[in-house]
C-alpha cells in the first residue's frame, strides 16, 4: 500500500510513529487516549496491565519524541485511575480522563498535579457506568459516552450534571456501548456507537442528524468503531477498531480514504531498544514485519488544526502520525 492515500483534493500521508512497549518512561502500554497541548506537547493515556499495573498518562513532545513525564498512577486514590477510556485537554491544558473502572472523571494540570475526581457509579441521571470517550463543546462543557448505560451525558467540567440523552438500542439516537465522542466546529456531536458498528452525528441537544458507516468489513463499512475525530474542514475520521483501520469520510458521509497503518520505520524510542541488542536487529531482519506496520485496534484519534492525524493503537503500544494535505494537487502523471 502507498503511504499516501489520495482522495478528492486531499492527501493523507504517513509521517512517523511514537512508542514502544514498556511500563514507564518513554514507552506506552495499551494506549487508549490522546490529547494535545501547546508547544507541540502530546499526552497519551495508557491502560497498563493488571499483572504489572502501570496505568498512566505519558507526556512527551510530538515532533522530537522527547519524553517529559508520566502523569498519574494506577489505583483508586487521588491522582490514581484504572481502565482509562478517553483523554481531553481544556483551554488551560488541564487534562480530563475517564476512569472506567471507578466510573469517575479524573483531572490533572499540565504538570501532572492532581486537580479533582468526580462522578458517581450508577444508572440514575448524572451517574456513570464505565464512562469512556469524552469531548468538550465550545463552552467547555463535557460530553461523556456513558458506555454501560448506553447514553451520552453532559456535565460542566467540574462535574455538575447538565443533561442526558440516548438509551440502549439500535434505532436512531439509541446506542450500544458507545465509546469515542467528538464535536465539530458547529458543536454537533459524533458518537462512536461501538456495538452498533456506526458513528452517529447528533445535534448539540442530542437529536439525530446522520449516520456514518454500516456494519461490515468492506470499503467504508465499520466493525465496532472506537473513536471519532472531525478536522476543521469537517472531514470525519473514524477508528474502525475491529477492522484495524481508520476510515475518513467527507462531511456528507461520502467515503474518502482508508488508513491501515504504515509504520515501516522504528520510533525514536524503539530505535534505542533495537540498537541496544544486535540479536534483536538480526531477528527483525529475518522476519516478515508487515503485521507490525499495520494498525492493531486503533482506540483513540486526534486531528489537530495543523492537520496532524494521531492514531493510538491499543495493541501496538504506539501512536501513528499521518498528515493531511487539504489542497492536494496530483503529481505530473508522465514522470
Partner 1 sequence: MAGKDIALMAHLMRRAGFGATYEELEARAAKGYEATVEELLEPDANGVPEYDELTLARYFPDMEVPSAPALGTANFMYHLYTTPRPLVEKMTLFWHMLFATGNSKVDNPPEMLQQIEMFRQHGMGNYKELLMGVAKDPSMIFWLDNNQNHKLAPNENWGRELLELFSMGQGNYSEDDVKMTARAFTGWTILPKIPRTPYQRHHWKFIYKAEDHDNSEKTFLGHKGNFNGEDIIDIIVDQPATAQFMARHLYNYFVADEVQVPSWLDFPPRDPEAVNAIADTFVKSGFEIKDTLRFLFNSDFFKDESVWFAKVKNPAEVVAGTIRLIGDFKEPRPGVLPIGLEGAYQGQDLINPPSVEGWHTGKEWVDTGSLVRRVNFVADSLSNADMPGVQAIINRLGSNDTLTPEQLVDGCLELLGAIRVEDGTRQQLVDHVKASGEIKRGSSEDEVRAFGQRVTEVLQLIAATREYQFG
Alpha-carbon gap, residue 334 to 286, rounded angstroms: 37
Q: Dig out the grid coordinates for 124 from the structure.
A: 440514575
Nearer to partner 1, 148 or 204 (CB): 148
Nearest approach, Cβ of 43 to partner 1 (angstroms)?
19
Nearer to partner 1, 185 or 284 (CB): 284
Alpha-carbon gap, residue 144 to 164, rounded angstroms: 9
How far is residue 30 from each of residues 50, 168, 208, 298, measured CA to CA in Å? 12, 28, 32, 10
- Give the one residue of 5, 10, 11, 20 binding partner 1; rule: CB under 8 A: 20
Count interface residues toward partner 1 (CB under 8 A).
47
* Cβ neighbours of 124 (radius 10 Å): 10
Q: Which of residues 280-319 bind partner 1 (CB under 8 A)?
A: 280, 283-284, 286-289, 291-292, 296-297, 299, 314-318
Nearest approach, Cβ of 87 to partner 1 (angstroms)?
16
Q: Dig out the grid coordinates for 45 from the structure.
A: 493515556
Helix-, strand-, coil-residue percentages of the chain, each rounded to 5: 10, 45, 45
Q: Which stretch binds partner 1 (CB under 8 A): 2-10, 24-32, 35-43, 322-330?
A: 24-32
How far is residue 190 from each of residues 204, 237, 276, measured CA to CA in Å? 10, 10, 44
**Is position 267 an interface residue for partner 1 (rule: CB under 8 A)?**
yes
Q: Which of residues 146-205 bind partner 1 (CB under 8 A)?
A: 148, 177, 179, 194
Instruction: Tell me the backbone φ, ψ of residue 172, rounded to 5 degrees.
Output: -60, 140
Alpha-carbon gap, residue 18 to 266, rounded angstroms: 8
- Give the one residue of 1, 8, 49, 185 binding partner 1; rule: CB under 8 A: 49
Nearer to partner 1, 213 or 324 (CB): 213
Query: Which x/- pattern, by CB under 8 A, does the window 224-263 give for partner 1?
Result: x-x---------------x---------------------
Strand partners, 325: 11
Q: Which of residues 113-142 bind partner 1 (CB under 8 A)?
A: 130
CB 142 within 8 A of CB 157: yes
**Is position 52 an interface residue for partner 1 (rule: CB under 8 A)?**
yes
Give the helix ranges, DSSP H, for the chain: 268-275, 278-286, 290-293
Q: Among 200, 205, 135, which Cα is nearest to 173's?
A: 200
Nearer to partner 1, 30 or 157 (CB): 30
Judged by the rule CB under 8 A, the positions of this chain that interact with partner 1 are 19-21, 29-30, 32, 47-52, 82-83, 100-101, 130, 148, 177, 179, 194, 224, 226, 242, 266-267, 269-270, 273-274, 280, 283-284, 286-289, 291-292, 296-297, 299, 314-318
Amino acid at each position: 500500500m502507498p503511504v499516501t492515500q489520495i482522495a478528492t483534493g486531499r492527501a493523507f500521508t504517513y509521517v512517523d510513529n511514537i512508542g514502544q512497549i514498556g511500563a514507564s518512561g518513554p514507552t506506552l502500554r495499551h494506549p487508549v487516549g490522546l490529547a494535545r497541548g501547546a508547544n507541540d506537547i502530546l499526552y497519551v493515556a495508557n491502560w497498563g496491565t493488571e499483572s504489572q499495573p502501570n496505568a498512566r498518562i505519558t507526556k512527551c513532545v510530538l515532533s522530537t519524541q522527547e519524553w517529559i513525564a508520566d502523569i498519574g498512577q494506577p489505583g483508586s486514590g487521588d491522582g490514581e485511575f484504572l481502565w482509562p477510556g478517553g483523554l481531553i485537554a481544556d483551554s488551560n491544558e488541564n487534562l480530563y480522563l475517564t476512569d472506567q473502572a471507578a466510573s469517575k472523571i479524573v483531572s490533572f494540570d499540565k504538570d501532572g498535579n492532581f486537580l479533582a475526581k468526580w462522578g458517581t457509579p450508577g444508572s440514575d441521571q448524572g451517574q456513570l457506568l464505565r464512562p469512556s470517550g469524552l469531548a468538550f463543546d465550545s463552552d467547555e462543557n463535557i460530553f461523556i459516552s456513558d458506555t454501560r448505560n448506553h447514553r451520552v451525558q453532559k456535565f460542566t467540567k467540574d462535574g455538575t450534571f447538565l443533561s442526558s440523552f440516548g438509551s440502549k438500542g439500535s434505532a436512531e439516537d439509541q446506542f450500544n456501548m458507545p465509546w469515542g465522542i467528538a464535536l465539530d466546529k458547529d458543536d454537533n456531536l459524533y458518537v462512536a456507537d461501538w456495538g452498533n458498528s456506526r458513528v452517529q452525528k447528533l445535534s448539540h441537544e442530542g437529536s439525530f442528524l446522520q449516520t456514518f458507516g454500516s456494519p461490515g468489513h468492506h470499503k467504508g463499512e465499520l466493525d465496532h468503531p472506537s473513536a471519532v475525530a472531525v478536522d476543521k474542514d469537517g472531514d470525519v475520521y473514524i477508528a474502525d477498531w475491529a477492522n484495524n483501520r481508520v476510515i475518513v469520510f467527507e462531511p456528507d458521509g461520502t467515503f474518502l480514504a482508508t488508513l491501515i497503518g504504515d509504520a515501516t520505520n522504528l520510533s525514536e524510542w524503539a530505535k534505542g531498544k533495537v540498537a541496544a541488542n544486535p540479536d534483536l536487529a538480526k531477528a527483525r531482519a529475518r522476519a516478515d514485519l508487515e503485521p507490525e506496520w499495520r494498525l492493531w485496534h486503533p482506540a483513540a484519534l486526534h486531528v489537530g488544526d495543523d492537520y496532524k492525524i494521531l492514531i493510538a493503537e491499543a495493541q501496538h503500544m504506539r501512536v501513528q502520525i499521518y498528515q493531511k494535505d487539504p489542497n492536494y494537487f496530483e503529481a505530473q502523471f508522465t514522470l
